[in-house]
Structure 1
Amino acid sequence: MHVDRIISLLGWTIVQRTGSCPMAMTNAPKASHMRSATEARPSMREEQRRTTRRRIVEAGRQCFYDQGVSETAVEQIARAAGVGRATLYLHFANKDAILLEVLATNMRGVRTIFRELCEIDGIDTRAVRAWLDHYVETIRAHGDAMRLFHVGLANDPAARTLIDNHRDRIAAFLAERFDALDLADAHSHARLILVLARVDHLASAAAEKAPRFDVEAGLGLVADELAAVLSGQPL
């Protein structure tokens, strides 16, 4: 009996260590379930955090559009987002940080339009002009976003860096699509960045109520230049 008991105890120990004990098998799913529940909680918190952050950004965007950046207070953004000041400051250090996030979100939308340029099969002035018309009309329909773009560009060095990085990203995926673009070549890179800046300038002018120059003429000139850059042709 004593030997049997020892064998039984040894067997129990071995079974426990190999994980084949019925009790161990019964407990395993429970432990796994507990781990899954524990792991799910940070994910839910993270989603809630992202949702709150998006609400703050959208509230900031609307306040900036409605009354301007300088006239908007952090308290107004928090109230519009339905959060307290303390919650807002958990996500953003100040109003300028919210402005940068709004600009970054707008620029992601702009890059989406530029990606449509990569879908053009044959690059010529007519195809580029059609894309440019679409781009300018989109920007014109969102004039508040363009005005905010210029406020950030004029007042915040971080916004200027953001815009430079934005153009570099556009240049990078255009270079992947169009063989004529060689970003390793200083002349080719500078030429592309300059024409991207002119596209922005043209779209900005088109969004104004009283443009400072003939937008139609500008569309033709910029379309010619952009088509030449993408196809590697001289102007």
Structure 2
Amino acid sequence: MPSLRDEQKRLTRARIIDAARQLFAAQGYSGVRVDDIAAAVGCSRATFYLHFTGKTEVLRAIAEQSTLPSVMRFYDDLDRVLDNGSRAEFAAWMTRAIGWFFEHKELLPAWDEATAVEPEFRAAARAGISALSDRMTSYLSRWPADRRDEARLRIELLVAQLERFFTRWAMQGTIDVSAERAAEVLTDIWFPALRAP
């Protein structure tokens, strides 16, 4: 059973993560300082640094805690969808993917910003994208061994296009289309592009 001190540490860490999530969502990555996070929690900088090395590590903890598990499940599901070869199921997956982006919309700008300015976060983002293709074992197994890098690249390009589309469409408003129409067109592009040879 954890001691009272261990429980207090766990609660403080959770409060730091929660406060940072809210601040990153409201102000982006660069707009938030460690002092802002500590003030929102009501703790000192020293207490913050007992739990995290900096705001990059907090953002990574947010991703690992809430975003990464759900996105991994999405790509497990895509592996299953591609196994059965149904265009209709792929279109349904695409609609769910757009819904996932809506669900996580508030933190996407902070992640993009951190990826652009923090080499450490960039490496973590790269590892996360690689992990998505690595999870799609059934899909990868249908590709000849000498073309598996191409299969991984196709998955990574899908991830990149979905992220950029969503940013331009739902966040910047520079693409004018309904979610339903976007899912249809993205299905037209990606369903044939992801077929194994």
Tell me the TM-score range normalised by the shorter chain.
0.7 to 0.9
Say if 2:48 is the partner of 1:88.
Answer: yes
Q: Is there any run of 5+ residues in structure 2 with no aligned partner, and where?
A: none
2:183 corresponds, among 179, 194, 219, to 219
2:13 corresponds, among 50, 53, 62, to 53
After superposition, give the CA deviation of every residue in 1:136-185 in whole Å (9 maximum; x if it has no partner).
12312432122122112221122221121111111111124664256763
Aligned to 1:206: 169
Q: TM-score, normalised by structure 2?
A: 0.79
Q: CA RMSD in A?
A: 2.9
Say if 2:63 is the partner of 1:99.
Answer: no
2:128 corresponds, among 154, 163, 166, to 166
Which fold has the larger relative contact order, with Cα–Cα distance below 8 Å and residues 6 or more apart in sequence?
A: 2
What secondary structure sits across from 2:85 in the alignment?
coil
Aligned to 1:30: none
After superposition, give the CA deviation of every residue in 1:106-139 in whole Å (9 maximum; x if it has no partner).
2333223333334436233221111111111231
Q: Is there any run of 5+ residues in structure 1 with no aligned partner, and where?
A: 1-39
Distance 2:38 2:143 in 1: 45
Alpha-carbon contact 1:63-1:72 (below 8 Å) kept: yes
Q: TM-score, normalised by structure 1?
A: 0.68
Aligned to 1:16: none
Aligned to 1:109: 70
Distance 1:61 1:142 in 2: 11
Distance 2:166 2:35 in 1: 33
Structure (1 or 2) with the larger CA radius of gyration: 1
Letter in 2 for 1:200: E
Alpha-carbon contact 1:181-1:189 (below 8 Å) kept: no
Distance 2:111 2:196 in 1: 30
Distance 2:128 2:136 in 1: 13
What secondary structure sits across from 1:159 in the alignment?
helix
Aligned to 1:31: none
Letter in 2 for 1:164: R
Distance 2:10 2:145 in 1: 35
Alpha-carbon contact 2:29-2:114 (below 8 Å) kept: no
After superposition, give the CA deviation of every residue in 1:27-83 in whole Å (9 maximum; x if it has no partner).
xxxxxxxxxxxxx456x6555433322221111110111223323222221132243
